[in-house]
Amino acid sequence: MNQGNGLFTLFQRGDLARSLEHELTKITEAVAGWNEDALLSCPESDICEELEEKFLVEPLVLDRAGITACPVKEAFASISQFGDEMRIRRTVVSISVPFTGDRELFHLRPSSFTLNPPAATIDGNELKIEWMGPLDQDGQQIRLNLDRQLDEIQRWIDWGTAQVKAYNPSAKQKILNEVQARKIRLLANRSIQGALGFPMRERPDATTYNVPIKRKKIVPRRAAAPNKPFQPEPALAEAHYEAALEVLRNQRNALERAPGTSAKMGEEEIRNLLLIGLNSHFEGQAAGEVFNNTGKTDILIRVDDRHIFIGECKIWKGPKTISDTLDQLLGYLTWRDTKAALLLFIRSGAPGDVMPKAIAKFREHPNYKRDGQHSTEERHDFVFHANGDTSREIKIAFLPFHLPKDPHNC
């Protein structure tokens, strides 16, 4: 509703609860619209991230610290007095309030509301609020009036934010459920197709469809749909990967508790000690200096002729250590290797100084996609993409070892 002077009544064009419910129903349709081979080939997290950007709602936040005032103006207002229309001069004070979030929320009525909604003007990412009154009005009184208007708008925003915060987790979970359910259905259909024994007719758009992935993180290029139908690949056991990392973590703790012993050991001796622990757990399937693809890696574990763990051991010699090791590690990985680890031996300097620099280099690498599940002082996980293939994800665990050469500096 127009309030005059460019002001509009806020939160009145539609119902927020109904709008959010409608968005939930559109998720199923959005997932069903994805190209089949793209859905099966692209990382599940990328697909969910793209859909979350579309369906999750960013709550409104007013930046009251960033408020600026417009020049004070004079205007004429019409009033009725004893049946006569009169025009009197008034003072007009306007302020601009920056905000972040989905501006559409300013038009949707929350479930909690009053019968006297606030009014303002939406201009880009700013909310303009106005006071009009007598020419001789005290400045402090004007400020109090503007603050009351802001407080009322904030009250309506808070009501809507509560609904948005309840909606977003539901939408996120529904996206994941719909993507996973459709993948299961598609894989089942592919199994039926294989059992029929007939050659399948290729879709006319199979080589031209581009996956609509928008990256939040900077990557060399957008993911694209494969040029041939999806073929399932062997899955690497998450349990084996986590078991190997747990063995290394326990050995790391033992070495750090014996600084007098670890201080005398070189990189190769430490690596060999780690291999002994891994072999005791994996029955001799861990090996050092084993050739794999384009180079040789420090630690490699095979299970049933499958690489389940690739690890690189490096001594910290500055941030370039991380960049060079990541390039080396990614060069080793074959199409079946999707899990790896970088073991960093900190032999000089404080871990509190080294770790932020190391983690920053992980995130600066061109193959970096996002942080992984674990983020502690003992372990940081990262998700990278394979060289030349942004749709193939590689999980890299970063394990720091504090093994100073001088045990007195522990």
CA 194 to each of CA 181, 202, 205, 218: distance values in angstroms, whole numbers, following the listed order? 20, 14, 21, 38
Give the per-residue pLDDT at 35: 86
Give the per-residue pLDDT at 304: 60
CA 324 to each of CA 51, 185, 224, 361, 387: distance values in angstroms, whole numbers, following the listed order? 34, 42, 28, 10, 14
Give the per-residue pLDDT at 209: 31
Domain residue ranges in the chain? 2-171, 238-409
Tell me if 289 sits within 8 A of 221, measured CB to CB: no
Instruction: Provide the whole-model pTM.
Output: 0.59
Tens of pLDDT along the chain (410 residues)? 444 456 789 999 999 999 999 999 999 999 998 888 888 878 888 899 899 999 999 999 999 999 999 888 887 776 776 667 777 888 899 999 999 999 999 999 999 999 999 999 999 999 999 998 887 788 889 999 999 999 999 999 999 999 999 999 999 999 999 999 998 888 887 776 555 554 544 444 433 333 333 323 323 233 344 555 555 555 556 777 888 888 888 889 888 888 888 888 888 888 888 888 887 776 655 666 555 555 666 788 766 666 667 889 999 999 999 999 999 888 877 766 778 999 999 998 888 899 999 999 999 999 999 998 888 888 999 999 888 888 788 899 999 999 987 655 54
Give the per-residue pLDDT at 331: 84
Give the per-residue pLDDT at 389: 83
Tell me if 27 sits within 8 A of 20, measured CB to CB: no
Q: How many CB atoms lie within 10 A of CB 104?
A: 14
Q: Give the distance between the most distant pair of CA atoms in the chain.
A: 102
Give the per-residue pLDDT at 196: 53
Give the chain as a 3 state SS string.
CEEECCEEECCCCEEHHHHHHHHHHHHHHHHHCCCHHHHHHCCHHHHHHHHHHHHCCCCCEECHHHCEECCCEEEEEEEEECCEEEEEEEEEEEEEEEEECCHHHHHEECCCCCCCCCEEEEECCEEEEEEEECCCCCHHHHHHHHHHHHHHHHHHHHHHHHHHHHHHHHHHHHHHHHHHHHHHHHHHHHHHHHHHCCCCCCCCCCCCCCCCCCCCCCCCCCCCCCCCCCCCCCCCCHHHHHHHHHHHHHHHHHHHCCHHHHCCCCHHHHHHHHHHHHHHHHCCCEEEEEEECCEEEEEEEEECCEEEEEEEEEECCCCHHHHHHHHHHHHHCCCCCCEEEEEEEECCCCHHHHHHHHHHHHHHCCCEEEEEEEECCCCEEEEEEECCEEEEEEEEEEEEEECCCCHHHC
Strands 368-375 and 380-386: antiparallel
Give the per-residue pLDDT at 213: 32
